[in-house]
Amino acid sequence: MDFLKGEIFHIDKPYGWTSFAVVGKLRYHISKRIGVKKIKVGHAGTLDPLASGVLVVCTGKATKRIDELQAGVKEYIAEIKLGATTPSFDLETEIDATYPWEHITREQVEDVLKTQFIGCIEQVPPSFSACKVNGKRAYKMARTGAEVELKAKTLIINEIEVLEFEGQRLVVRVLCGKGTYIRALARDIGVELGSGGHLTRLRRTQVGDVRVEKCMTVDEAVQLIQTTEVVMPEKD
């Protein structure tokens, strides 16, 4: 392996880890393995701590391909709780409002998804996101209780389908383009159903041609770094 020339790792990010923490762990072990203090390591497409699944990590000169890699289509399996909302649109924050949900049927859900959430759509990102407002990260402002106004973005949903529906629990598969916030999708689906909604579980199962079944764990990546033959950097 040649970490400076560039390697690409396909990681199954565990629940609870930040994408930055995964990058940091791999960077530490790569630096230790080849004896350099600094090496470029980055990821293509952030996954929230409360999400798991495909995270593409690049090293060295391969970091120049990050924009290209994160532009690929992404597939998610998302679990949504209907009838309640949270400020972050997921489980990071507590429920702030509840709504009727008993009127919702599977047929209604499928109709709303088909007519409102396929193709080119407008989506307002969550306040608890890495979007910048006047040079500041939105989530940092939101956590202080400040009002955060974000503009709607145009994005593409290629496919969306119901996998499970029972009571307040809705599970959907989403195939979408770059920039889609599945948390915001959960919010918007709840609104269109005359209720509320927030994300309770999220797994990214595909990025471009990379399927989660083919990804390695963080520990497997570390073992690969420690045991595989590597190209050592030239010494001055």
Tell me the helices (H) and strands (E) count for the chain, helix number first. 6, 13
Residues 100, 136 within the same domain: yes
pLDDT per position as a tens digit, 136-184: 766 666 666 767 677 888 999 999 999 999 999 999 999 999 889 999 9
Instruction: Please confirm, yes or no, whether 48 is among the known catalytic residues.
Output: yes
* 113 and 46 together in one domain: no
Same domain, 17 and 46: yes
What DSSP line would sit under 158-214, residue for residue?
EEEEEEEEETTEEEEEEEE-TT--HHHHHHHHHHHTTS-EEEEEEEEEEETTEEGGG
Average pLDDT over residues 194-205: 98
Q: Which of 12, 48, 90, 188 is catalytic?
A: 48
Contact 227, 151 (CB under 8 A): no
Same domain, 133 and 191: yes
Q: Do residues 35 and 62 share a domain?
A: yes
Q: Is this model's pTM higher than 0.85 or not?
A: yes
Gyration radius of the chain over CA positions: 20
For position 13, which CATH number holds? 3.30.2350.10
- The answer to whether the beta carbons of residues 204 and 51 sit under 8 Å apart is yes
Task: Give percent of the chain with pLDDT exceeding 70.
Answer: 92
Same domain (yes/no): 104, 62? no
The pair of three-digit structure tokens given for residue 214, joined into one six-digit string? 């083919």
Q: Are 30 and 128 in a shared domain?
A: no
Residue 176 · residue 74 · CB < 8 Å: yes
Overall number of domains in the chain: 2
Structural contact between residues 45 and 67, judged by C-beta atoms closer than 8 angstroms: no
Distance CA 209, CA 61 (A): 21
Residues 37, 96 share a domain: no
Asked whether residue 234 is domain-assigned, the answer is no
Residue 199 lies in a domain: yes
Is residue 95 in a domain?
yes
Q: Please tell me the predicted confidence (pLDDT) of residue 234.
A: 78
Predicted pLDDT of residue 131? 67
- Examine residue 1 and state whether it is found in any structural domain, yes or no: no
Answer yes or no: do 192 and 91 share one domain.
yes
Weakest mean pLDDT among 20-24, 46-50, 186-190, 222-226: 46-50
CA distance 119 to 142: 30
Q: What is the pLDDT of residue 152?
A: 85
Provide the pLDDT for residue 134. 66
* Structure tokens given for 14: 């565990």
One domain for residues 192 and 180: yes
* Range(s) of the domain holding residue 25: 8-71+210-227
How big is the CA angle at 155 (ends 151 and 159), to the nearest 5 degrees?
140
Do 101 and 125 share a structural domain?
A: yes
Strand partners, 127: none
pLDDT tens-digit map of 99-141: 999 999 999 999 999 999 999 999 988 776 566 666 776 666 6
Q: Is residue 175 in some structural domain?
A: yes
In a domain, 121, yes or no: yes
Residue 187 lies in a domain: yes
Joined together, the tokens standing for residue 172 give 């959907």
Do 87 and 130 fall within a single domain? yes
